[in-house]
Amino acid sequence: MIVVLDHAIRDDDKSRLHSFLVEKGFQVREIVGEEETILGAVGSVAIDIREVELRPGVQRVIPISKPYKLASRELKKSDSIVQVGPIKIGGPRIAVMGGPCAVESEEQINEAARIARESGAVVLRGGAFKPRTSPYSFQGLGEEGLKLLKSAGERHGLPVVSEIIAPRYVDMFKEYVDLMQIGARNMQNFELLKAVGATGRPVMLKRGLAATIEEWLMAAEYLLAHGTEDVLLCERGIRTFETYTRNSLDISSIPVARKLTHLPVIVDPSHATGIREQVPPVALAAVAAGADGLIVEVHPDPEQALSDGPQTVFPGQFEKLMRDIEALAPVVGRELTRIPRERSTPDGGASLGTSVGSRGVGDAADSGAGASSGARGDASSGTPIAYQGERGAYSEMALVRFFHDTEFEPIPSRSFRDVFDAVLAGRAQFGIVPVENSLAGSVHENYDLLLQYPDIHIGGEIKIRVEHSLIGVNGSSIGEIKRVLSHPQALAQCDEYLRGFDWERVPFYDTAGSVAHIVSGGDASVAAIANVRAADVHGATVLKEGIETNPSNYTRFVVLIPGEPSWQEGANLASIVFSTPDRPGALFHAMELMAKASVNLKKLESRPIAGKPWQYMFYVDLELPTGKAEFDSLLDTLSGEVSDLRLLGVYRAV
């Protein structure tokens, strides 16, 4: 059952309630959400729920109808985040695990780890104990294989996953492995599930060859019930009458599982197909269907692999797949998880867990605690980050996705200037603002503010897809609407849909703010246009999703950091601003110097100089050359040919 607690419950009442449930024979887990705190009480215990409802501090009690209690969405509405070493899997990120089917030698697993890491994988896979259909097939190197796997992972900064096949190996795996894998053939090996669950370690549970989704979730329940809180579900294809592929990937199981459970869903396209040429398209299909990650077999020389060579991709195929996933991720509102990199913050303290410019990995939507769905823990303890707009604004979405690697406190701001002021005054450690939309063009106000605030620079960039929805108050319908509110740009971007109705279009300062406004008014005849998250945040109803005229609508956001810009390892972009002498060819000559330095010009924007009519500053985004020395040389050369040259930032675009 789910015990919903009063917001004002006293600590001693909560403690007594917890003890009461445990004494009755329940396993109890506290889940702190953004709106409410609950106790999940699970166990084969008969109890009159009125005994619980009448206790101090209890708001209400809700029975869990599903046979899988701890894995059910009824218990936990928000997506769970599973941490594997420094990597967090779930939420808006896509985590890719890569490596060979089996560890064969020190040289082979180290080379596979290098390939996986450089291509963008964040977890190294490798089998040491191989349950094979034939007793004469390669069975793995056993403990020696685990040692080699762990060593390769540490050398390349990757946590490791390997399959455990028997309870007697639990202590061994605890020593070497970050993520224990339960294979398809062992999905209902309940003694193994109990032993692995009792370790409390993260577990990846593969779906059995002929298992229903409910049986799969019941197996996950064994793991959760015996101690671990971190379970990944892995869809790897099921046995059907089709013989062309090794198995049949049940693509529909991905959205179904995500609806039924809060646990992240990983897909194994290698075992699903058994054919290396089919792995990339099936992997991309899994991402499009909502998978939280992939586990892909890649080998330095698949044709010489001792296990599963035909389904193992070549290094070049894996590298291209990672690029394709990175391109696809924004379309489905996700992003590719990256390995964290350390750096110092401007005040010399610890970083946010990763470099802002090189991006990292982590939690974008944890348990829902904090000031935002995305902020972790107590909001007052998080890093303050300013953005323009109300809760649920697109700027907040960009913030959550970029800073998913840390605990943070979102700071809503009325205007873009307020964001800059908050960063400059130290009320926010970072800020995030839009600078360009793929349809509407540049946000000129923020280009001007970058020039007006010389003590703030750009430290990162992220693009998000803009998806507009028609949102009304709870209980309203499209037929009742007479007026629709939103930012003028959003109204324009939904013109084709709005033309089908005789509604008054009312400009509003912010998309998410328009949702908050209609909710406070409670008028069913007034609707707003914003993203679906704004509806969830403000307690409104989505009446129609995807009403934007052009689905290829993206906004580019930059992260603001106080202080002077400096070179960042891993950065791929730089932004500069300058003016040119009033003579023919001055701008062309500056562009010529960049071309001679083999620097690719990504964007050029001109803005008038305040107080100097008909004179302009030029904002330029550059693709960085190979190293710091080359870039410094270019700046030195440019400074002799242009005026007022200023470096706005050196950063990584993700």
**Residues carrying an active site annotation:** 555, 557
Q: Under a CB-based contact definition with an 8 Å cutoff, are residues 62 and 4 in contact?
A: yes
Cα 312 from Cα 566, distance rounded (Å)? 42
| Identity of the amino acid at 417 | R
- The residue whose two tokens read 């959205």 is 255
User: Does residue 524 sit in helix, strand or coil?
Assistant: coil
Cα 207 from Cα 283, distance rounded (Å)? 17
Cα 547 from Cα 373, distance rounded (Å)? 24
Q: What dihedral angle (degrees, nearest 10) is formed by the CA atoms of 399, 405, 411, 412?
A: 20
- The residues, any chain, with a CB within 8 Å of residue 98's CB and separated by 6 or more, are 112, 115, 116, 119, 121, 123, 124, 125, 295, 296, 297, 298, 318
Cα 632 from Cα 567, distance rounded (Å)? 10
Cα 66 from Cα 70, distance rounded (Å)? 10
Cα 264 from Cα 84, distance rounded (Å)? 13
CA distance to 361, 366, 453, per residue, from 386 (Å): 20, 20, 15
- The residues, any chain, with a CB within 8 Å of residue 309's CB and separated by 6 or more, are 299, 302, 303
Q: What is the per-residue DSSP string for 422-434? A: HHHHTS-SEEEEE
Which pair of tokens denotes residue 66?
């599903």
Cα 547 from Cα 186, distance rounded (Å)? 46
Please measure the distance between the N-terminal and C-terminal CA atoms of the chain and give it in whole angstroms: 42
Cα 396 from Cα 388, distance rounded (Å)? 8
Closest CA to 151 of 114, 206, 115, 195: 114
Rg, C-alpha atoms of the chain = 27
Cα 404 from Cα 398, distance rounded (Å)? 10
- The residues, any chain, with a CB within 8 Å of residue 486's CB and separated by 6 or more, are 468, 494, 507, 508, 511, 514, 528, 529, 530
Give Dmax over CA atoms of the chain in angstroms. 88
**DSSP type of residue 450:** H
Q: Under a CB-based contact definition with an 8 Å cutoff, are residues 437 and 443 in contact?
A: yes
Q: Under a CB-based contact definition with an 8 Å cutoff, are residues 531 and 395 in contact?
A: no
Which pair of tokens denotes residue 96?
């890719």
Closest CA to 406 of 385, 423, 427: 385
